[in-house]
Structure 1
Amino acid sequence: MTDIILHHYDLSPFAEKARLMFGIKGLAWKGVQIPLVMPKPDLMPLTGGYRRTPVMQIGADIFCDTRLIAEELERRFDGPSLMAGGLGLANVVSGFAEEKLFWAVAGLVVGTNADRFPMAFHEDRAKMRGGSGNVNLDKLKAASGMQVEQLRPQLGWAADLFRDGRSFLAGETAGLADLTLHHPLWFLKNSGGEAAAVLDDYPALPAFMARVEAIGHGEMSEMSAAEALDVATNASPEAGRGVAANAEGWKAGDAMAVMPTDYARDPVVGELTGYGGNAITVLRNDDRVGAVAVHFPRVGYALRRAG
């Protein structure tokens, strides 16, 4: 079977979510370290412009966004299910944990550690959010107090989920919903200092995190970016899954641009080969690797006609 390849960096909270998916499934996988900031010259040939972390590669098929990565792992691989409590629970938790909670955590972590991050990091993240890239470190630091105000009630809500003594959100079995709640907390804890200390007032959360982290990351081995590009070059994308009849007017073969609807809105241009269920697929050709299929979730991503 073709290797699972994860393009990630160690400190990425969303990559930690994906790594724990491999742990639940008990999978072996290859890890390719990518830069924290643009440019990412060895990732762009695969994604066509998508720059978020992580990205999963299987042959010449490229899967973007951890929600779709989870569904693809569940589709392809037997073993323990990622869907304890159901996909609906995971997506409802995502609406809380990966939006308000995550951005409050990120604001606090970056604000309290502003001087520890290189300016290139701050500028890159400002551009991701649609800004000019100009950064005022004093404002970032000053905003951390507001982030704590926003974060504490949300941590209280999260802790309340375990008030009845359950181990995981769906009971005694970990699933995608738990990994979705865990990774913003993991980012907070790993930041250290005064940001991480906020967790001390909610002991149910560190206990929950310890249970999740005991899952591990499966069996990981390193792969170079060059080797991953060679894998794509020597493979062919899987056949497109077709365009559903109720595809909002899109047709197979349409030249499309796909982009996130919130931030890092870099378009990926290609030929539409899949639209239905929870996924969008565009087929693109790259001078470096040839034909690749890039897959996105439908929710949170917009289609536009190319050009």
Structure 2
Amino acid sequence: MADIILHHYAASPFSEKVRLLLGHKKLAWKSVIIPSVMPKPDLVALTGGYRRTPVLQVGADVYCDTALIADVLEHLQPEPTLYPEPEKGLARIVAQWADSTLFWAAMAWNLQPKGAAELFASLPAEAAKAFGEDRGKMTAGNMARIKPADAAAAYKNYLRRLSDMLDDRSHLLGEVPCIADFAAYHPLWYTSRVNAVKSILQLTPAVVDWMDRIKAIGHGSFEKIASADALAIAKAAAPKTLLTDSTFQDDHGIPLGSAVTIRAESFGLEETAGTLVAATRTHFTLAREDERAGSLHVHFPRTGYVLKAADAG
């Protein structure tokens, strides 16, 4: 099998989620550090437009969104499973809540003025401004922002609910971690890194203890490579998906082989254009060409993404 390559940066919370998944699965991987803000020319050469962090690459296959990346890692290394029976449906639902509702409440709390001041204290003023402008462009006015005061109440409630789930078990749904744990951990991990706001976690000691257990999993074995090397690996390879479901599910009236675009529903609205080569119950796949990266297949989860015919406007 081709090398597993993670395109990420250190402070990205969703990247921390995947780094821990790789450690949990004991998979060796290659690390490509990407910019935290646009432009990201080498990443976009692989994705065709998608710019959210992280992105997983295996040869000429590019997997977008951590929900889909988790499925890929599960296919690569089924044990220990991220989706234990009989709670696998519940695990996915809790993970989706954590990656959205919990995440945005946590980030509104984390990036309140005193938190933002600490995070950007060591950076030039123009860098902090560029980060804010970049994240503003990712929503394009399409998503409501939570006020810090509202976020405080919501975040405290969510932490208490997580604590309740840990009353009689070591992890959220049992005695071993599952996808729900990794999804709930990464927004709290970001909070734990900011001295000005991290005291909120002390309200729920059981959550802090659980975080220590997740952190101890670590990131596994990895080595750094340059983004140019990752592009060369893609160009030398042929697409060969690691996703096992292949049955065509047509909910759009768009046949395979059509020119299409795909983008996220609400955050990171840049489109990827290509030829639709898979539309299953779980994912979409687009074939595209890039001068530097060659022939690629770019994969997206079906949930949370918008598919359109290229001529739909």
- Asked whether 1:226 is paired with 2:228, we answer yes
Displacement over 4 Å in runs of 4+ = 239-243
Counterpart of 2:104 in structure 1: which amino acid?
W
Match 2:185 to one of 182, 200, 206: 182
Counterpart of 1:214 in structure 2: which amino acid?
A
Partner of residue 261, structure 1: 265
Give SS of 1:221's match.
Answer: strand
Match 1:144 to one of 118, 143, 148: 148
CA RMSD of aligned residues (A): 2.0
Partner of residue 285, structure 1: 289
- CA distance, structure 2, for counterparts of residue 14 and residue 249 of structure 1: 33
- Asked whether 1:205 is paired with 2:207, we answer yes
Q: Percent of counterpart pairs with the same letter?
A: 41
Match 2:157 to one of 150, 153, 158: 153
- CA distance, structure 2, for counterparts of residue 2 and residue 95 of structure 1: 29
Partner of residue 38, structure 1: 38
Aligned residues: 297
Note closer, same or farther for the CA distance 1:210–1:270 as it changes in structure 2 (3 Å cut): same
Counterpart of 2:44 in structure 1: which amino acid?
M
Counterpart of 2:209 in structure 1: which amino acid?
A
Could you report, residue by residue, the CA deviation over 1:78-112 in whole angstroms, capped at 9, with x for unpaired residues?
A: 43222235442232112321222211111111123
- CA distance, structure 2, for counterparts of residue 242 and residue 178 of structure 1: 28
- CA distance, structure 2, for counterparts of residue 303 and residue 245 of structure 1: 13
Gaps of 5+ in 1: 133-139
Native 8 Å contact 2:162 2:172 kept in 1: no
Partner of residue 98, structure 2: 97
Partner of residue 53, structure 2: 53
Partner of residue 15, structure 2: 15
Give SS of 1:191's match.
Answer: coil
Counterpart of 1:199 in structure 2: which amino acid?
L
- CA distance, structure 2, for counterparts of residue 114 and residue 168 of structure 1: 31
Deviation at 1:245, TM superposition (A): 5.0
Could you report, residue by residue, the CA deviation over 1:12-59 in whole angstroms, capped at 9, with x for unpaired residues?
A: 111111011111111100010001111101100000010111000000
Partner of residue 162, structure 1: 166
Note closer, same or farther for the CA distance 1:177–1:108 as it changes in structure 2 (3 Å cut): same
Partner of residue 253, structure 2: 249
Native 8 Å contact 1:275 1:281 kept in 2: yes
Scaled by the length of structure 1, the TM-score of the pair is 0.91
Gaps of 5+ in 2: 121-127
